[in-house]
Amino acid sequence: MKLGPGRAIGGFTLVAPLHRGGMASLWHVSHPRHADFPLLMKLPHLGYGEDVSKLVGFEVERMLMPGLCGPHVPRFVDSGDDGDQPWLVMEHVQGGTLRALLDEAPLPVDRVAALGAWTATALEDLHRQHVVHLDIKPSNLLLPDDRQAGAGRVVLIDFGLSHHAQLPDLLAEQFHIPMGTAPYISPEQVLGVRHDPRSDLFALGVTLYHLATGQRPFGNPTSQRGLRRRLYQDPVPPRALVPDLPRWFQEIVLRCLEVDPDARHPSAAQLAFDLTHPEQVPLTERAERARRDGRIDVARRWLRSLGREAAPVEQRPAAARIAPLVMVALDTRQEDRELDAALNDLVQRIVQTAPGARLACVTVMRTARVGMDSNLDSAGRNRHVKRLVAMRHWARALRLPDHRITFHVLESSDVAEALVAFSRDNGIDHVLMGARGITGVRRLLGSVSARVVAEADCTVTVVRRSRQAAPA
């Protein structure tokens, strides 16, 4: 079919070609009823010699995209068939992909961590919509031009290899070869597993490694055998290539690149949390690694990898259920042992039932609306430190290992607003907080918990001390 400006397809008018790739042509199109944002039409190449899996991938996009929503995917507009030629129209998100940044690598670690956190946040959004992307790489991560000041965002594109847990997986049924992009593909994808969201964390780890070191952790293998090395060969630790990289960064990236998905972050939200709170990343042996494992270790893993096949497909429960981010808001100034104990008890029950759960303990220091606030109290001790000590004391009874708990002291003149903002910015799944008694001031100002319940976009549990006999 001859494509050219002015040609009408499915009610859309071709305006100008944007890109002619190996698999499809992209056109800027217009439509009288869709004028509020720029439109892009994707037209796969048909004919002999075209890769059949790419055509099925286009079908996958047509099935998946109408159900996706949110700021981290292009908006779907319409799709159809013009004779034999299928087409799909979506929002044309203006911006550049991370592909261009590879030429500037190694990039400063703060920049890489920010890009990683935005991507992980986008992945969390996608995973919550039951989709695993399965082809995360710099050229599929788009930085929109329309960024609001301060708020970075990554838009995920190209869902041609994606898996939707609630839709037929056309690719898995028809092709029994690993599908992905060689430098980024996860070990389990090499074995044919297509339903694990943590495969996207592996690919993001490869991307971050590349951006921070300028090198690919696993090269660019071109054979099945080369891909299978991913099951046993560990990468050169990033700090061996760029000694200035901080330990926390190596810890995060090497955890993403673990062969066993269970050893990676349990959810994209938890990875985003680590990337935005580097000072709280618990360092393990990964952070200290200076070189690849010795030949004997690798040989041992190679032996174990022989003949290894994918475990039977078993749908994991959603990460938000088994690995939620839980936040507890503590008021460390008030002495209410009963309430503290009730809060502690409930938090304990929640983190016990969700083995991948992580707990963020948060307290807010009220600052005056105007004027300078001294960070030192009358005794000259640092108020921050006092709050941290109090929170750690409260948390001791939970007996949570370091990698499952973090502590945050916020400063704000508006406690409720600070708590809501923290929960939103960190992708918190569940906020727990105590309800204070009704005092004169409380009645006047309205309760903090009521505002958090009303304004937070996640589950909020308000805990009360157990009922006591009313005072006579």
Partner 1 sequence: MRIALLADLHANREATEACLAELARQGCDHYVFLGDLVGYGADPGWVVDAVRARVAAGSVAVLGNHDQAVLAAPSQQMVPEARAAIAWTRQRLDAGQLAFLGGLPMQVEEDDRLYVHANAWAPERWGYVSSRASATRSLEATTRRLSFCGHEHRPALYYAQPGPSGHFQPVAGRAMPLPGARRWLAIPGACGQPRDGDPAACCAVYDAQAGSLTFLRVPYDHERAAARIVEAGLPQAFAARLLTGA
* Total residues at interface with partner 1 (CB under 8 A): 18
| Residue type present at position 341 | A
Q: How many CA atoms lie within 13 A of 169 on its CB side?
A: 22
Binding residues for partner 1 restricted to 278-297, rule: CB under 8 A: none
Residue 37 to residues 24, 71, 146, 384, Cα–Cα distance (Å): 22, 14, 12, 47
Binding residues for partner 1 restricted to 76-115, rule: CB under 8 A: 79-81, 84, 86
Stretch that binds partner 1, among 7-15, 27-35, 170-178, 249-257 (CB under 8 A): 170-178
39 is written with which tokens? 């439109």
Q: Is 411 in the site for partner 1 (CB under 8 A)?
A: no
Q: Residue 97's beta-bridge partner residues?
A: 142
Burial of 184 (0-12, 13-18, 19+ CB in 10 A): buried
What is the end-to-end Cα distance of the chain in Å, rounded? Answer: 88
Q: With respect to partner 1, which residue has the nearer C-beta, 13 or 129? A: 129
Residue 175 to residues 86, 181, 231, 447, Cα–Cα distance (Å): 21, 15, 21, 58
Q: Is 162 in the site for partner 1 (CB under 8 A)?
A: no
**Binder of partner 1 out of 103, 146, 173, 260 (CB under 8 A):** 173
* Rounded least distance, CB 61 to partner 1, Å: 9
Q: Is 15 in the site for partner 1 (CB under 8 A)?
A: no
Within its chain, how far is the Cα of 40 from the centroid? 26
- Collapsing DSSP to helix, strand or coil, 297 comes out as helix
Q: With respect to partner 1, which residue has the nearer C-beta, 79 or 140? A: 79
Residues 6+ apart with CB under 8 A from 8: 14
**Binder of partner 1 out of 25, 28, 59, 102 (CB under 8 A):** 59
- Collapsing DSSP to helix, strand or coil, 273 comes out as helix
Q: Is 11 in the site for partner 1 (CB under 8 A)?
A: no
Q: Is 10 in the site for partner 1 (CB under 8 A)?
A: no
Cis bond leading into 183, ω under 30°?
Answer: no
**Binder of partner 1 out of 23, 114, 170, 259 (CB under 8 A):** 170
Binding residues for partner 1 restricted to 174-233, rule: CB under 8 A: 174
Q: With respect to partner 1, which residue has the nearer C-beta, 90 or 252? A: 90
* Rounded least distance, CB 66 to partner 1, Å: 5
* Rounded least distance, CB 36 to partner 1, Å: 21
Nearest CA among 183, 29, 45, 141 for reference residue 92: 29
- Collapsing DSSP to helix, strand or coil, 316 comes out as coil
Stretch that binds partner 1, among 7-15, 61-69, 89-97, 464-472 (CB under 8 A): 61-69
* Rounded least distance, CB 59 to partner 1, Å: 6
* Rounded least distance, CB 130 to partner 1, Å: 9
Q: Is 242 in the site for partner 1 (CB under 8 A)?
A: no
Q: Is 421 in the site for partner 1 (CB under 8 A)?
A: no
Q: With respect to partner 1, which residue has the nearer C-beta, 76 or 232? A: 76
* Rounded least distance, CB 134 to partner 1, Å: 18
Burial of 30 (0-12, 13-18, 19+ CB in 10 A): middle
Contacting residues toward partner 1, per CB under 8 A: 59, 62-63, 66-67, 79-81, 84, 86, 165-170, 173-174
